[in-house]
Structure formats: C-alpha cells, structure tokens
Amino acid sequence: MVIGAGGALGTDLVARLGTPGASGAPPTDSVTALTRSELDVTDAEAVRAAVRAWRAAPGEGAAVLVNASAFTAVDLAETDPDAAARAWAVNAEAPGVLAAACAEVGARLVHVSTDYVLGPLPGGERRPLEPGDPTAPEGVYARSKLAGEERVRAALPDAHHIVRTAWLYGATGPNFVRTMARLSRERDVLDVVDDQHGSPTWTGDLADGLIALARSSAPASTRHAAGGGATTWWGLARAVFEELGADPERVRPCDTASFPRPAPRPAWSVLSDASWRSAGLEPLPPWRDALRTAVRHHPALLLG
C-alpha cells in the first residue's frame, strides 16, 4: 500500500511497483495506491478501515505500507495557525495511526522522514550525517516530522523502517529544479543561497531505494537515503542551467541572511549512506548524475 500516492514520490513508487516484469509478465507486486483525496490521513478511523480492507483482500507474500504523505509547506506552517495544525496532524499524528494500524494487521511500515529533524554537529563539524547524530528540529515542520518518527517507533517497534531523505525533486509538483528552470527564462541573473549544503535527491531514485528496502530482510531501523555527494542550492541551480544549455554564470551566490524565510533551513543536510549500505542496499546515484538522468527521461522538468 502506498499512502500519498498522488505526490511526486508516491507517483514514482506506484509507477515502479506497477511496472510489468520481464517479457511482459505481470508486476510482481499487488499495489493499493491512495491519494490525499482518497484517504485523509488525519482521519484515524478512515486510516484504520483502509488498512484493514487492504489486508483483507486476497494476496500472498509480505505486506508493506509505504507512507509518502507529508505536509511540506514549511514557511506557511510558521505563519498560519491552521497550516501549523495541519502539519502536526499529517506529519506527527498520522504516522502513529498508520503504525498502529500496521501492527493490528501484521504489516511492515516504511515511513519517509527528513533531514530537517537533525541538528548541527558538535563544534561545527562538517561530515555526512548518520541516523544516530543529534536531533534538534527547528520550526513547526521539523518538530512535527520528528514527532512522527517517535510515534512510529513506539507503535511498531519491530516492523518499521524510517527513511530520512533531503532536497527532493520529482517530475511532478513544485520543486527547486522546476523553479530554477522557470526563473532561467524570466530573469537575466539569479541570486541563490550558497551557504546551505545538502544532497539533492531525485524521487525516482528514492522510490527505487524504498522498494529495495521494503523487499529486504533488514531489521527495523532509521536509515538515511539521499543523492550521493553534496552541493549547495547555488550549485544545484548552476547544474540546472547547465542542463538547459544556459550560462551558469547567470547564477550568483549569496548567503542565507540575504533571503530571510519564516522557517529555518538546515545549514548542513549532507546525509551519509553508511546505514543504507549496512543493510546491503545499493546507495542512491550521485546527485549530478541523477539530475542528468532525470532531465533525459523527464524533459518537462526543465519547462518549470
């Protein structure tokens, strides 16, 4: 079952799980895909009923629920009380309900979380972040996502996988890559933040990784999965311009203070793949290679 099937990540998950096998054989997985309009994850009784109905349907093999739903309007959650309440309901409370429902029917849960829950390393150290590094969420979104992790662990201690990722972009929906592509046509020059570091992650690659994790025998865990390597928002914007054949020198670096936002952003979001590799899983491709591949297969990305 895929929850949040209408989002960028959910769309890629469903597409891959529903892909026919070799020589046109039927897909190896039976997939129940529910979008936000089909299931309100903040309605606890509706969630329990949906999970029971899913498990009551005929089928063989292991049952895995992937929660790709999230409230991600981070700035709105800081300025609008209704949005803050929605963020808490979707990101904190709903994962706990989903985990409890999985426990009831004997299913495993793969829950997608975020780099925002992590805090700075002691002494200002800069190295790839591990799942055991300190958490120190700032802002409504970050706190709600950490609370969601905690509720998943409490409700389903032996049958969960929490996967933190970062800097997602996909073929559908708003994202940084699409925004940069649009602005490349609207502005002669762009000022983009160059003091926030992270690992851009193509949703297609993350979907492949989540499916591999779900099919594995890895124990319950919190793991990190993001595009390989690191860059800044400025570096990513320049890469988008390069894919467009535009002059990357039109993208100028600036600091975070030049673009104040309601929600604080992590200055260091580079995620280590050590926990991923320890489960025998293939790390996600390097972020620059992934961007090139994503554009080749989904040229609409650069239409903004």
Question: What is the domain extent for residue 95?
Answer: 2-174+200-229+270-285
**Would you state the structure tokens that stand for residue 155, as one six-digit string?**
């409700």
Residue 244 in contact with residue 303, Cβ under 8 Å?
no
Residue 23, domain member (yes or no): yes
Give which of 127, 152, 157, 156 is closest to 269, Cα–Cα. Answer: 127
pLDDT of residue 60: 64
- Is residue 141 annotated as a catalytic residue, yes or no? yes
pLDDT of residue 259: 87
Q: How far apart are CA 235 and CA 253, in angstroms?
A: 9
Q: How far apart are CA 259 and CA 194, in angstroms?
A: 11
Residue 189, domain member (yes or no): no
Q: Write out 12-41 in H/E/C secondary structure.
A: HHHHHHCCCCHHHCCCCCCCCEECCCCCCC
3-state SS class at 3 = strand
Residue 190, domain member (yes or no): no
Residue 110 in contact with residue 183, Cβ under 8 Å?
no
The pair phi, psi for residue 231, each rounded to 5°, is: -155, -170
HSE-up (13 A, CA, CB side) for residue 43: 11
User: Which residues make beta-bridge pairs with 193?
Assistant: 254
Residue 290, domain member (yes or no): no
Residue among 141, 167, 233, 268 flagged as catalytic: 141
Residue 41, domain member (yes or no): yes
Give the total number of structural domains in the chain.
Answer: 1
Give which of 154, 21, 161 is closest to 97, Cα–Cα. Answer: 154
Residue 251, domain member (yes or no): no
pLDDT, averaged in runs of 10, over the chain (304 residues): 96 87 57 95 97 84 92 96 98 98 97 96 89 95 98 98 97 93 95 96 97 95 97 98 96 94 93 96 97 93 81
183-209 as b/e, with b when 16 or more CB fall inside 10 Å? Answer: bbeeeeebebbbebbbbbbbbbbbbbb
pLDDT of residue 18: 81
Residue 100, domain member (yes or no): yes
**What residues have CB less than 8 Å from 223, skipping those under 6 apart?**
131, 161, 162, 163, 164, 213, 275, 276, 279
Residue 84, domain member (yes or no): yes
Residue 212: CATH number of its domain: 3.40.50.720
pLDDT of residue 211: 96
